Amino acid sequence: MTPAISVAGLTRRYRDQVALDDVSVEIEAGSITGLLGRNGAGKTTLLRILAGQEFQSSGSVSVLGAPPAENEHVLRRMVFVREDQAYPDFKVRHALRAASWFYPNWDAGLADTLIADFDLGPDKVIKKLSRGMRSALGITIGLAARAEVTLFDEPYAGLDAVARQIFYDRLLADYAERPRTILLSTHLIDEAAALFESVVVIDRGRVVLEAAADGLRGIATTVSGPVLAVDEFTAGRPVWHRRRLGSQASVVTVGQLDEAARARARSLGLDLVPLTLQQLVVHAAEWPASPEGADLEGASA
Amino acid sequence: MSTLVRVARYHLVQPFQYLVLAWMVLAFAFVVNVIIFGITPVSHHTALTANGLVSVASMDGRYTGALCSFFLMFLVLGVQSIGRSLPFGLTLGVSRRSYYTGTALLAVLLACADGLALTALQAIERVTDGWGVNMGFFRVPYLLDGPWYQTWLTSFVGLALLFVYGMWFGIVYRRWSLFGTLTFVAAQVTVLLGAALVITWAHGWTGVGHFFTGLTVAGLTGLLAVLAAALLVGGHATIRRATV
């Protein structure tokens, strides 16, 4: 399959900092990808460049087969609602009406359903909405646009748990009906983990992990138990992280554990807990510096 | 529907700002002036007509000049059309070029329609002896005082010019914020200063004076149209790299 989004050697420098440093990423068409990383890692800058709102210092960007900047053929097939999206002096219904003119696949029925779900009054002035309600408007536009490439930047900042669940449910339901390429940045990694088919982790402007979500399940495991048993079990395995507390140790090992290894761990009286996606992301940021750094490229296969 | 028309419609989806606000400002200025001129005595002078000597109300000092509030509103609207509305416009998948051209299209259509409305109001003013109080509100000596088509053309060009000028300010503010905007103003002052110095060194002020005293309203309108076109080109060059 051809990638819907393809970025090579992308760098964005601002006066005194490098927001993106030689980023190369490919996103398959028809997938939901999580763009993960800490605050200031470069997620928003990457999304803005993909949406043609910001320009790269160097490198190449291709969305739906062409550079997006000032390219209406690409731009009109893509939707990007920013976390801090600025609106004119509009009411909610003005923003939705304007959006309906510009997105060729706009689904007014879905937009109506969503604003009802989110309890977002069409006659409310956008400027006076709470942060959560503005996020709800962004989500409504992003989903109802039904654009081939849908970019969400922290789409649920300020939304309560119920509204976030509405977002996950609607996103999956609509995605099942109309598959498209969705790239979603978020901090709430574990909560959204079930959505992602693949993840891209950025740290300090660099891609530190790009993998299929399935390949990441069980890719790293926390082994805990008596120090000697843990040491015996982890000998010869790549290790990210060790923690010792008295006679107990807790070690993060990398690599899938086969049935034999699990049986052995049981016989040694060890606890095995797979790392969650969120923990993986936290560790991924430290990888390049880790002397015992494991090669996770296999995970993307 | 072409993208340009869609952009123009995008601005008008909330029509109050573009279709109502400037007229509200003008209506307020109008009412204030009607009241003031209603209580200010009109001076008369005698004139020889076919009916002999008659007393005619003099228009000396009866021009308000308050019409400039309407023109300044166009400058404000121009700033807003970019400064406030560009980010969501780009979110809607419009290129900067289309956004700019579509917004300029709105400027031309608005200036054309509102210029026509001002022309009609001027005609009413003439028929009603200055709204019954000998007030020159929609008539401005020299500038907007000729036949209807000239009033229309001059107000159309003036309104469009100010809108486009405002657009350029909006782009500069979006791209370089306050410091950039101040620099932009300083650059314009510097250009004017440079021109004044050159004229002085070349002993050209007499020529300049003659040029402007000899300039007809039609000629001035033509000059303003050229200036508007130049501003349009400048704004277009600036928006190409604007980020939101």
What ranges do the domains of chain A cover? 3-213, 216-300
CB contact B179 to A (< 8 Å): no
- Which residues of chain A neighbour B9 with C-beta distances below 8 Å? 98, 101
> Which class is A3-213 in CATH?
alpha beta
What is the CATH architecture assignment of A216-300?
2-Layer Sandwich (3.30)
In angstroms, rounded to a whole number, what is the distance separating the alpha carbons of residues B11 and B4?
11
Which residue matches tokens 């574990």?
Answer: A190
Average pLDDT of chain A is 89
Domain span at residue B119 reads 3-41+53-239
* B48 within some domain: no
- Which residues of chain A neighbour B92 with C-beta distances below 8 Å? 98-99, 102-103
Report the DSSP beta bridge partners of residue A149. A78, A181
pLDDT in tens, A96-123: 999 999 999 999 999 999 999 999 999 9
CB contact B84 to A (< 8 Å): yes
pLDDT at A287: 59
Q: Which among A31-45, A149-163, A219-233, B157-171 has the top mean pLDDT?
A: B157-171
- Which residues of chain A neighbour B7 with C-beta distances below 8 Å? none
- Say how far residue A54 (Cα) sits from the centre of its chain: 20
pLDDT at A294: 45
Sign, CA dihedral B146-B148-B149-B152, equals: positive
pLDDT in tens, A199-232: 999 999 999 888 888 888 888 899 999 999 999 9
Structure tokens at B148: 């209807």
pLDDT at A301: 33
Report the DSSP beta bridge partners of residue A20. A12
Interchain proximity A102–B9, CB inside 8 Å: no
- Tell me which residue in B13, B84, B97 faces A98 most closely, judged by beta carbons: B13
- Count of structural domains within chain B: 1
CB contact B173 to A (< 8 Å): no
Question: Is residue A292 predicted with pLDDT exceeding 70?
Answer: no
The answer to whether residues A47 and A97 touch, using CB atoms and an 8 Å cutoff, is no
pLDDT at B119: 97
DSSP secondary structure letter of residue B144: B
Using 70 as the pLDDT threshold, list the residues of chain B that sit under it. 1
In angstroms, rounded to a whole number, what is the distance separating the alpha carbons of residues A86 and A94?
14
pLDDT at A256: 86
- Tell me which residue in B17, B87, B94 faces A102 most closely, judged by beta carbons: B94
Checking B115-120 for CB contacts under 8 A at 24+ apart, the result is B115/B151, B115/B152, B115/B153, B115/B155, B115/B156, B115/B159, B116/B152, B116/B156, B118/B67, B118/B70, B118/B144, B118/B151, B118/B152, B118/B155, B119/B148, B119/B151, B119/B152, B119/B155
Interchain proximity A79–B9, CB inside 8 Å: no
Report the DSSP beta bridge partners of residue A36. A186, A201
| Shortest CA gap A293–chain B (Å) | 39
How, if at all, do strands A3-14 and A58-63 pair?
A: antiparallel
In the chain, the amino acid numbered A56 is Q
- Which residues of chain A neighbour B10 with C-beta distances below 8 Å? 98, 101-102
pLDDT at A68: 95
Structure tokens at B243: 């980020």
The answer to whether residues A143 and A110 touch, using CB atoms and an 8 Å cutoff, is yes
Question: Is residue A291 predicted with pLDDT exceeding 70?
Answer: no
- Tell me which residue in A48, A55, A70 faces B95 most closely, judged by beta carbons: A70
Nearest chain A alpha carbon to B84: A88
Average pLDDT over residues A135-144: 96
Q: B interface mutation test: which of A101, A123, A140 has the most B CBs within 10 A?
A: A101
- Say how far residue A145 (Cα) sits from the centre of its chain: 20
The proportion of chain A whose per-residue pLDDT surpasses 90, expressed as a percent, equals 68
Q: Give the Å distances, CA to CA, from B14 to A77, A94, B234.
A: 25, 6, 28
pLDDT at B128: 93
Interchain proximity A101–B1, CB inside 8 Å: yes
Nearest chain B alpha carbon to A75: B93
In angstroms, rounded to a whole number, what is the distance separating the alpha carbons of residues A44 and B104?
30
Which residue matches tokens 């689904």?
Answer: A107
Terminal C-alpha separation, chain B: 26
If DSSP codes are grouped into helix, strand and coil, which group holds residue B22?
A: helix
- Which residues of chain B neighbour A55 with C-beta distances below 8 Å? 241, 243
pLDDT at B1: 66
Nearest chain A alpha carbon to B96: A70
Structure tokens at A90: 């509009």
pLDDT in tens, A164-201: 999 999 999 999 999 999 999 988 888 888 899 999 99
How, if at all, do strands A181-186 and A32-37 pair?
A: parallel
CB contact B44 to A (< 8 Å): no
ipTM of the complex: 0.86
